[in-house]
């Protein structure tokens, strides 16, 4: 599969990508653990069918110390025993926040989120889900394939 279009070849899209990166920097500085952020982004990427983002977040999670077992079970987290209640709440938020047209985020999921995370972490999770949904959609539209991502390959795009 070849990409339809390289977003970095478009001056406007490249500027948007840079701003996406900069918008995500506060999430890296939040108290949400990197592995949790990667699991949430992986689940959204799986739902949206983004090969590039599944590749990226699987490899970034593994680099951060996540196990192959847990990475392999993210897609079926509801039917596995390897995720904590807090992680399960975050994965439920990721799914419901991605599939907004089906029911939106349920009161049950929101109650679970509030049990496990403080207000700043909740805000970070909401932003994380929104940003990864936008990123996956851009990559799926242009058929950006998975398989070639190397952890850290984008370096620092903040300048």
d(CA 105, CA 92): 9
The pLDDT of 19-47, averaged and rounded, is: 96
Which fold does the domain 33-141 belong to in CATH? AhpD-like (1.20.1290)
SS3 9: helix
**What digits encode the pLDDT tens for the residues 60-105?**
999 999 999 999 999 999 999 999 999 999 999 999 999 999 889 9
Alpha helices in 3-147 (DSSP H): 11-28, 34-48, 51-63, 68-73, 85-98, 107-116, 119-141
Please provide residue 26's backbone torsions phi and psi, each rounded to the nearest 5 degrees.
-60, -25
- Please state whether the predicted TM-score (pTM) of the whole model is above 0.85: yes
| pLDDT at residue 37 greater than cutoff 60 | yes
pLDDT at position 20:
86
pLDDT at residue 158 greater than cutoff 80: no
Confidence of residue 44 (pLDDT cuts 50, 70, 90): very high
Domain boundaries, the chain: 33-141
Give tens-digit pLDDT for 97-149: 999 998 899 999 999 999 999 999 999 999 999 999 999 999 999 999 999 99
* pLDDT at position 75: 98
The answer to whether the beta carbons of residues 102 and 92 sit under 8 Å apart is no
Which pLDDT score, from 0 to 100, does residue 56 have? 96
- Higher-confidence position of 157 and 103: 103
Q: Is the pLDDT of residue 159 over 80?
A: no
What sign does the CA torsion over 156, 64, 151, 21 have? negative
| pLDDT at 15 (0 to 100) | 94
């Amino acid at each position: 599969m070849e990409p339809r279009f390289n977003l970095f070849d478009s001056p406007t899209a490249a500027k948007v990508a840079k701003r996406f990166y900069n918008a995500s920097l506060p999430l890296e500085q939040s108290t949400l653990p990197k592995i949790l952020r990667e699991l949430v982004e992986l689940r959204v990427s799986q739902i949206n069918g983004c090969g590039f983002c599944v590749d990226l977040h699987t490899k970034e999670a593994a680099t951060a110390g996540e196990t192959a077992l847990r990475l392999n079970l993210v897609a079926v987290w509801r039917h596995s025993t390897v995720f904590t209640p807090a992680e399960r709440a975050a994965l439920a938020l990721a799914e419901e926040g991605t599939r907004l047209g089906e029911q939106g985020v349920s009161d049950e999921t929101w109650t679970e989120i509030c049990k496990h995370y403080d207000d700043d972490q909740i805000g970070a999770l909401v932003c994380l889900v929104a940003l990864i949904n936008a990123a996956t959609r851009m990559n799926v539209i242009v058929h950006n394939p998975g398989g070639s991502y190397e952890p850290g390959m984008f370096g620092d795009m903040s300048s």
